[in-house]
Amino acid sequence: MRRTRGSYAQYKAHRPHGAVVVQDDLRKELRDLRDQIEALRSALSDVARPYTELMGYVERLQDFSRGYFRILDLYAKHGRVSPDLVIPGLKDDISRHIVVALFDRPDRNISQITEAVKGKRGTASRRIVRARLADLQREAIVVATPGSRARTFRVAEEVAEKWSQVLGVPKYRDQPHEDQGTNR
Q: pTM (2 decimals)?
A: 0.55
**Residue 21 predicted with pLDDT over 50:** yes
Band (76; pLDDT cuts 50, 70, 90): confident
* pLDDT in the model for residue 128: 92
Measured at the CA of 182, the angle between CA 164 and CA 138, to 5 degrees, comes to 50
Band (73; pLDDT cuts 50, 70, 90): confident
Residues 131 and 165 in one domain: yes
Residues 149 and 128 in one domain: yes
Q: Identify whether 6 is part of a domain.
A: no
Last residue of a domain, one of 59, 79, 99: 79
Q: How far is CA 178 from CA 63, 145, 172, in A?
A: 24, 11, 11
Distance between CA 103 and CA 117 in Å, rounded? 12
The sign of the CA dihedral 70, 171, 114, 86 is positive
Residues 110 and 163 in one domain: yes
* pLDDT in the model for residue 39: 93
Q: Identify whether 53 is part of a domain.
A: yes
Q: Identify whether 26 is part of a domain.
A: yes
Q: How far is CA 149 from CA 109, 131, 137, 155, in A?
A: 10, 19, 19, 20
**Residue 33 predicted with pLDDT over 70:** yes
Print the domain residue range for 107: 83-171
Distance between CA 151 and CA 172 in Å, rounded? 23
* pLDDT in the model for residue 72: 80
The domain total for the chain is: 2
The sign of the CA dihedral 130, 132, 136, 137 is positive
User: What mean pLDDT comes out for the span 58-84?
Assistant: 78
* pLDDT in the model for residue 177: 44
Residues 88 and 166 in one domain: yes
